[in-house]
Structure 1
Amino acid sequence: MSFAKMSHKDRLLWLGSKVIPTPDVQKVKAFCTRLHRQSRTKNEGNGGFVLGDTGTGKSTAVAAFVDDLAEEFKAKRPGSEWHRPRHPDTPIRPIYEVTEDAGWLRHVVVIVVPPRVRFNSFLRSVAMTLGVKLKSRFDFGEAFDQIKHQIEQQKVGMMIFDEVQHFTEGTLDSYQAADVIKIIMKCRVQVVCVGLPKMLDLVQGDNANDQLLRLRQKQVEVKPLACALDDFVAGDGAIRGEETNTQNDVRFERTPFTDFCAFLDDRSDPKAIILPFDASSEISEYHTALRLWRAGNGHVGKMMEILFQATDLAIEKRMSKLNLRVLAAAYRDSGIDDKDNWFMMEVPQLLEKFNQPTKRSAAKGDESSSPGRRGRSRDNVLARKH
């Protein structure tokens, strides 16, 4: 495979379609797989929460599960007509099948909860997604009956709600949200709620609803990848990945973040390559990896967005791989001042600022997105090398 022979857009599509199998992505996929396996096997469905901060990749992880499931469906019934429409506000795409006998079968339904959602509009969105057109002034009981009928007719197995925190931010309280979710679960459908951690307000405090407590019992949190200088620099000053060392050096433990970087750089499997270049961009090099982690604060979605924008610029400039200069340009384009641009800092400044938690993570007390501490002697070793 030669990426240089591919069109600019095809190379971006390649990168945009890739999901790195971090431990949290695998955890979400396993969680959703178990839920889906149990769909329509009991009198009632159940479900759970997939939560995480903006940019951690929670929706991307759920989307990866649904994409794999869609391929399984297509392999089993290659003669069917399959539809997977895109929604502008989520990467999660539903799975619809059209058959001659049963008509539309909506195996996985996806609904994005809009900001400032109201009960009527939310119920109407659920109905429309199932092909039910409600009257301008509809009766709630009749609307629920139509929804239940279509869920059964279309053999809906799973319903995924994204941006669920909007329930707690608008005028729709948890009891109203539970009315809809309860009906769906009683139809033997599995429910997955995806959103920011604040969506747990649905099952906390005085306004909590018993119908949603079962969802709280099953939840998966997608967190930022942790990183410390120890991951790249040993106590004796040895640097991970240098010629005198190997990736299996006992001085360096594998971590989810170092695996993330290695996966970006892996050239052993052409189908597994993430960055669409014919040469490695050496993201695993400590001085690049630490900058990338700091720029995205460990959030996979944010780091991948930086890499995506840098890739676009690099292809435009006919570069054979990414380097610090194009990464700095992409990061600058996101609105970052040059003085705060991690990719423009000299190594001594990078090392000095790396150990300083960001204002945001310090305010939240978020240890997972705060770098590990390291003594000045270790910093001096690296500074002398560069």
Structure 2
Amino acid sequence: MTDAAELLTRTKELLAAHPPAGTDRTEFLKARFDAGLAWVHYPKGLGGLDAPRSLQAVVDAELTAAGAPENDPRRIGIGLGMAAPTILKYGSQELKQRFLRPLWVGEEVWCQLFSEPGAGSDLAALSTRAVRDDEGTSHSSEAGSGGDWVINGQKVWTSSAHVARWAILIARTDPDLPKHRGITYFICDMTDPGVEVRPLRQITGEAEFNEVFLTDVRIPDAHRLGEVGEGWKVAQTTLMNERVSIGGSRIPREGGMIGPIARTWRERPELRTHDTHQRLLTLWVEAEVARLAGERLRQQLAAGQPGPEGSGMKLAFARLNQEISGLEVELLGEEGLLYGDWTMSRPELVDFTGRDAGYRYLRSKGNSIEGGTSEVLLNIVAERVLGLPSEPRNDKDVAWKDLTR
């Protein structure tokens, strides 16, 4: 097994062969992937070296010290945090070879076509249909053989759909089965002529979210992940990784939402009151506890796959962001009500800390919805962490087509 010394040697060899100061950014990232230093815990030939996940820090520290470029993980977060681990676990060797390298390098942005207008919190109730057409020909240049699936439906709350090249998609392939058992998982080409992306303007004035309409979109069977009808099982890999990527990302002390309000407290003594002082202290401690819990979660990830702990982290992330941003607006008083730029734009990613307090307050409202609603995550923690009994369900064995919608 590859150890820390070998990883360090490989990293130094990469830097010697491709000096960051004189190498094109994309070419450096491709060379890093090919050297197995992208995801060291991934298999050889797919950006890794079959090394322990915990040793990624050895590589990252050496490259950072040398001024090597990164792959802009916030911009390609859906691809890195959700699509890649799902493709690795369920994709064919051809799909792994085709998608993982451009995904990690950042040449192709991904989005997630899961939620629907009638199936948000109850994702398994989705109605987007996928029908097999063995005689059809996909519009995609990468169709391959094996026939197509024809997709019709609507997705919503889709981050980055307006800039995405590919999407992970779940659709119903058998309406005669109960809702969790008639779903199949696909990779969707966002350039297909049947894909229409429309902006959804949010309370911030921006439209980082979208609604996506799918009309006779053709997906080759070669772009299916997992077996037909096992899409819910495959989606669990995506969802568990999604919650870890949202709530469990590595941040420094006073990173995230707590940073701006702590700086304001130190730099603006005239705003301080005894009440806000006590509340800020409480939130600072809670933010630090959440940060350290995230470090422990990453240690668990180094030894295996993400579990329900990610749901707990995402819960804490949403609650803290909303409480901290609310206190920040209150601390600033009338100044906190100012909102600098309420104009329609379609950003590629969200920047919580680079904007004013009003933006943070408004945007954080979505944290308890995106990536799984807080109500659903509470159920996951209750059942899978605390071992409490499941909520009663009367639709478990009912065919999806017979459910009231």
Higher relative contact order (CA 8 A, sep 6+): 1
What TM-score comes out, normalization by structure 1 length? 0.24
Larger Rg: 1
